[in-house]
């Protein structure tokens, strides 16, 4: 079967009332962006509350479907055959050909579901269902009807032209990126943070990311790995501005002046502060982290509270209730896992104490931080000033 | 005048290829596995080369493995796939006109206990699809077919082959030796049902000693070379950075304006075949003009020994192959020519002319004129 068109179905957008067109337009934009990466030419059209993708003559079906599966807001993708209305006899013949080619093994059950959007069509939906069903049964003796749990739900939509489809490929769900503001993701190079970014982007949020680089303790390869991760996330989230902050001096100052069991917490508080400042400067309204309760010492509830205390912006922690294994499964599905597990040190693992506090006392932490007064301000400023921004985008594959 | 018409044997490198090879060898010479910056710079070349090759096939860069060339790619694919799948079966299918790097590899596998079926081809050099499908048994694990034949330029219906063998046994692995096809055709392994694909750098105006093997995601093969675990452990050994970078450069050049390049090659081929057929006692082997590859013409000359003609042409600055240059070490009759039913009297009278990006129309004309001059002379002095 050679498909040239896809019908894009969306779920949540349909209930957005008067703002619906904004969401639909954003979805069309995102679909176009995704298809730019695919070989071939495509037309994306919005019509009768539906979005259709039409492919030019030479295109790759698998690649196209895969690209569409990266567009948030798509609930499902239906590869579709579109025919001209040349009368009911022709429709019957076309349907029989369609069923024959799509399902070589005819030991299946099916059900016809017609929709007559064009009301002047001579038959109504029920009549179409009955007569097409009968024609299919007569053509293939092995096929059975099952109206409750059919193997194949054969959909026929009578519009200006007639759409025939029966395959439904799940999309990623969510809402089109660009419909829900921007947030700043703390991207570390581990397994969790790319997944967290993916999950928030799924709600239509544009992502900026910040990475804390600590040369010479972390290598150029570790940075490259973060760029690669951002690129993988950008296949879903769209282009990402990755802010690379040199964190070495701040880390060293904390290491020299503060108790070692509080290092991680204090360090993370500074990371949040810097991330928040970058967020403000770049029009992001929230922070995103990959934290999950109790996963490590710095992610106990008390530690999270101590870290959170420096933030005035909302901090989204989409993985908060997830087990590691659940996070790993998503990472594998979105293709970030293999990159995340490459063995380069990140800045969190370098200065880690043997026994970090798991129930930090906020007052004690603040007392420790006071010891940094007079040193930290300049370093903090320098870190922000020397920040490097990398534009990361899933690129068109050019030779 | 010089006419290099042996581009199926090897090609002259593009200037851009030479530049990047020199740069990598003299300036960015780090070991791509080294931890320092010098290493990362070298790694960036390998990475870029992998992306370029992957993009040319529209596959993932994780599916590309660099090798030392076409021969290694074929060895790696066949031995690797056979070893990884010996529990599922021991039968391998290939054709009667493969390159030695396939036939000798499957012979080795026969020694290890695999059985091999060689499917015949018709007089155009096209594999018999019915025979191929019939050859598939429950034990068949691997089918290997060359995309473009190196001696006569016949082009196999790769997609149809994939469909026919899978119809009979869905989990069969399909390897394609695309060493003469890569750079000449737009190849889409995923769409065409190809699991593994071999290609070589120096056939596309890249460096010698480098090639690649595409292995589709989820296809498991065993390594045949062991060592430091480079390239996902499947092909150990420090990557040939200048080679990979040079090959990638050639890929970029050759697949840019690809259609124009192919039209040009056919244009040369058209003029050449027309000129050849106007000569007395000549015969073209293999497919018709446009049905065959754009760069290969196999010609039989009645009453002239190929080696004599080859050397006579050489004296005039024209370089060609007798049958296939790779097999010139073994002056046995060509399996391909026998396979397509070339008569005994012609087997030793056949030359291969092959064109490339640098071939000029003047070289074609010069070759035709020279042949016209030489043939009557050579025919007069032949052995009784």
**pLDDT exceeds 90 at position A11:** no
Mutation pick from B14, B50, B51 vs chain A, by most beta carbons of A within 10 Å, is: B51
For B287, half-sphere exposure in the C-beta direction (CA atoms, 13 angstrom radius) is 23
Measured distance CA(A159)–CA(A125) in Å, rounded = 12
Write the pLDDT tens digit of every residue in A322-376: 999 999 999 999 999 999 998 876 666 666 777 888 888 899 999 999 999 999 9
A109 touching chain B per CB within 8 A: no
**pLDDT exceeds 70 at position A14:** no
From chain B, the residues in CB contact with A219 under 8 A are: 35
Write the pLDDT tens digit of every residue in B28-41: 999 999 989 999 99
A221 touching chain B per CB within 8 A: yes
**Residue A158 — pLDDT band, cuts 50, 70, 90?**
very high
Mean pLDDT over A61-81 rounds to 94
The predicted pLDDT at position A346 comes to: 66
**pLDDT exceeds 90 at position B3:** yes
The predicted pLDDT at position A66 comes to: 93
Measured distance CA(B254)–CA(B354) in Å, rounded = 17
Token code pair at residue A109: 């059950």
Measured distance CA(B99)–CA(B335) in Å, rounded = 9
**Residue B326 — pLDDT band, cuts 50, 70, 90?**
very low
> In the annotation, is B326 catalytic?
yes
**pLDDT exceeds 50 at position B325:** no
The predicted pLDDT at position B324 comes to: 47
For chain A, what are the domain ranges? Answer: 5-170, 182-392
Write the pLDDT tens digit of every residue in B256-302: 999 999 999 999 999 999 999 999 999 999 898 889 999 999 999 99
From chain B, the residues in CB contact with A61 under 8 A are: 191
Burial of B380 (0-12, 13-18, 19+ CB in 10 A): exposed
A39 touching chain B per CB within 8 A: yes
Mutation pick from A60, A343, A398, A399 vs chain B, by most beta carbons of B within 10 Å, is: A399
A339 touching chain B per CB within 8 A: no
- In the three-class reduction of DSSP (H, G, I as helix; E, B as strand; rest coil), residue B3 is classed as strand
The predicted pLDDT at position A381 comes to: 95
Measured distance CA(A286)–CA(A206) in Å, rounded = 11
Domain A5-170 matches domain A182-392 at the CATH topology level: no
Report CB contact under 8 Å: A62, B256: no
Report CB contact under 8 Å: A399, B51: no
The predicted pLDDT at position A350 comes to: 65
Write the pLDDT tens digit of every residue in A15-52: 677 788 889 999 999 999 999 988 889 999 988 778 99
The predicted pLDDT at position B331 comes to: 56
Q: Please check whether residue B104 is in contact with residue B116, taking contact to mean a CB–CB distance below 8 angstroms.
A: no
CA distance B230 to chain A (A): 14
The predicted pLDDT at position A4 comes to: 87
Mean pLDDT over B87-97 rounds to 96
Residue-range domains of chain B with CATH: 3-11+258-380 (3.90.1150.10), 15-255 (3.40.640.10)
Measured distance CA(A110)–CA(A126) in Å, rounded = 15
Mean pLDDT over B92-118 rounds to 97
The predicted pLDDT at position A399 comes to: 66
B58 touching chain A per CB within 8 A: yes
Mean pLDDT over B203-231 rounds to 96
Share of chain A above pLDDT 90, in %: 74
From chain A, the residues in CB contact with B55 under 8 A are: 397-399
Q: Which residue has the higher pLDDT, A60 or A270?
A: A270
The predicted pLDDT at position B210 comes to: 98
Superfamily designation of domain A182-392: HUPs (3.40.50.620)
**pLDDT exceeds 50 at position B367:** yes
Task: Residue A230: name the closest of A392, A357, A71, A107 by CA.
Answer: A392
For A275, half-sphere exposure in the C-beta direction (CA atoms, 13 angstrom radius) is 33
Mean pLDDT of chain A: 91
The CATH number of domain A5-170, selected from 3.30.2130.30, 3.40.50.720, 3.40.50.410, 3.40.50.620: 3.30.2130.30
**pLDDT exceeds 90 at position A59:** no
Binding-face residues of A in 72-101 toward B, CB within 8 A: none
């Amino acid at each position: 079967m050679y498909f040239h068109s896809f019908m894009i179905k969306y779920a949540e957008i349909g209930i957005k009332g008067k703002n619906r067109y904004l969401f639909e337009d954003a979805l069309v934009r995102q679909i176009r962006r995704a298809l730019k990466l695919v070989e071939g030419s495509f037309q994306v059209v919005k019509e009768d509350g539906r979005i259709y993708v039409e492919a030019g003559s030479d295109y790759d079906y698998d690649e196209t479907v895969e690209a569409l599966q990266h567009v948030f807001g798509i609930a499902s993708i239906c590869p579709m055959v579109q025919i001209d209305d040349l009368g009911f006899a022709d429709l019957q013949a076309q349907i029989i050909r369609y069923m024959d080619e799509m399902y070589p093994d005819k030991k299946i059950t099916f059900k016809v579901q017609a929709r007559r959007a064009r009301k002047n069509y001579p038959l109504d939906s029920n009549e179409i269902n009955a007569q097409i069903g009968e024609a299919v049964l007569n053509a293939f003796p092995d096929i059975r009807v099952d109206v409750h749990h059919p193997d194949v739900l054969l959909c026929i939509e009578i519009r200006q032209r007639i759409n025939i489809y029966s395959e439904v490929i799940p999309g990623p769900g969510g809402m089109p990126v660009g419909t829900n503001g921007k947030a700043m993701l703390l991207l570390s190079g581990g397994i969790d943070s790319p997944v967290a970014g993916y999950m928030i982007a799924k709600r239509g949020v544009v992502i900026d990311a910040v990475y804390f680089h600590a040369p010479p303790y972390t290598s150029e390869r570790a940075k490259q790995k973060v760029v690669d991760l951002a690129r993988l996330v950008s296949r879903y989230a769209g282009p990402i501005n990755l802010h690379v902050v040199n964190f070495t001096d701040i880390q060293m100052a904390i290491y020299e002046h503060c108790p070692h069991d509080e290092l991680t917490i204090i360090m993370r508080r500074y990371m949040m502060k810097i991330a928040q400042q970058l967020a403000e400067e770049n029009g992001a309204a929230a922070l995103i982290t990959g934290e999950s309760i109790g996963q490590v010492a710095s992610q106990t509830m008390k530690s999270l509270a101590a870290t959170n205390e420096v933030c005035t912006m909302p901090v989204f922690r989409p993985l908060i209730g997830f087990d590691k294994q659940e996070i790993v499964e998503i990472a594998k599905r979105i293709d970030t896992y293999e990159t995340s597990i490459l063995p380069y040190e990140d800045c969190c693992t370098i200065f880690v104490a043997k026994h970090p506090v798991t129930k930090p006392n906020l007052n004690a932490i603040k007392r420790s931080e006071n010891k940094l007064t007079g040193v930290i301000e300049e370093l903090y400023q320098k870190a922000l000033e020397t920040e490097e921004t990398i534009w990361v985008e899933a690129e068109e594959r050019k030779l | 005048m010089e006419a290099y018409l042996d581009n199926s044997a090897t090609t002259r490198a593009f200037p851009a290829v030479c530049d990047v090879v020199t740069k990598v060898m003299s300036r960015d010479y780090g070991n791509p596995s080294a931890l320092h910056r010098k290493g990362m710079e070298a790694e960036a070349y390998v990475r870029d080369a992998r992306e370029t090759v992957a993009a040319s096939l529209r596959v993932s860069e994780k599916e590309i493995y660099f090798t030392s060339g076409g021969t290694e790619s074929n060895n790696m694919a066949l031995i690797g796939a056979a070893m990884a799948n010996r529990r599922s079966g021991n039968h391998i299918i290939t054709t009667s006109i493969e390159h030695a790097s396939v036939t000798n590899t499957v012979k080795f596998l026969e020694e290890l206990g695999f059985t091999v079926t060689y499917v015949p081809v018709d007089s155009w050099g096209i594999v018999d699809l019915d025979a191929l499908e019939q050859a598939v048994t429950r034990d068949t694990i691997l089918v290997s077919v060359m995309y473009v034949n190196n001696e006569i330029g016949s082009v196999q219906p790769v997609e149809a082959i994939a469909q026919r063998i899978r119809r009979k046994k869905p989990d069969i692995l399909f390897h394609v030796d695309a060493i003469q096809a890569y750079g000449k055709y737009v190849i889409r392994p995923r769409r065409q049902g190809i699991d593994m694909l071999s290609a070589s750098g120096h056939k596309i105006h890249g460096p010698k000693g480098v090639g690649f093997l595409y292995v589709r995601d989820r296809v498991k093969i065993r390594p045949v070379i062991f060592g430091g675990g480079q390239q996902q452990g499947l092909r150990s050994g420090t990557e040939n950075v200048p080679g990979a970078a040079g090959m990638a450069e050639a890929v970029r050049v050759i697949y840019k304006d690809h259609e124009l390049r192919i039209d040009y090659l056919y244009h040369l081929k058209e003029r050449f075949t027309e000129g050849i057929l106007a000569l007395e006692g000549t015969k073209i082997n293999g497919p018709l003009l446009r049905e065959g590859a754009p760069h290969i013409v196999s010609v039989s000359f009645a009453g002239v020994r190929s080696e004599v003609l080859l050397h006579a042409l050489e004296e005039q600055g024209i370089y060609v192959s007798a049958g296939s240059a790779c097999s010139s070490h073994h002056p046995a009759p060509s399996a391909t020519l026998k396979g397509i039913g070339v008569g005994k009297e012609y087997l030793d009278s056949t030359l291969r002319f092959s064109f490339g990006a640098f071939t000029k129309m003047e070289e074609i004309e010069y070759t035709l004129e020279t042949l016209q001059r030489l043939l009557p002379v050579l025919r007069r002095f032949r052995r009784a």
